[in-house]
Structure 1
């Protein structure tokens, strides 16, 4: 008997992921395994309602597995690019929010030095806000945007 409708989309809060981790073992028993991505995520399908589910391991929760609903997709397309993981979206948004709360960005009259950029650089910087953030991400000083295909209701 299909129970997929009893599981809502995950809210991007710790408690929601905690609860899903706790219910994943039971939920997984009701689903059929479809494929595994090169990154180690699995795709599952409900025989009753055809809902697709992706598994992930939340490293910040002790690498525990959880499942989340994903949109319909061809297996070959999913293998090329899996869906973004809610635990990574949660961590990314929290860290970026904290960074933006602590740092204020003032735009100068000087153009950004990134080739082809039409924005102005930040005060005391040679890059605009977008390119400055990208440079911090490149050097590991800020988290990179989560890997994977964005999907509703997350992006």
Structure 2
């Protein structure tokens, strides 16, 4: 019955987003300041172009250190992002997290980033469903 619970009902919508041309050092500062482990990277029309994780940042730092270069822009180290549609059910999100081992998944509606769902959001949805038998 969890298939009646939609991603849009439990996704986070107050996202910290980065631009592809953001300097990596500034992006790291942003992640640390907001105490987040990653952020969506979006263009001017809020279309998702990638994700920047702590691991991506570390790779960028190591690469720059190895070649004795500046850190560069977010677009040079960001990862491709799998996504989920806002109207998908929460079970599909849970299956993705199990299969891919990721922590978060950007949520799109008509190709535009509208939120992000995490493993914790899925657990919150399950708890709410078990307690109340319906979506919030």
TM-score class, shorter-chain normalisation, is: under 0.3
| RCO comparison, higher one (Cα < 8 Å, 6+) | 2
- Larger helix fraction of residues: 2
TM-score using structure 1 length: 0.25
TM-score using structure 2 length: 0.28
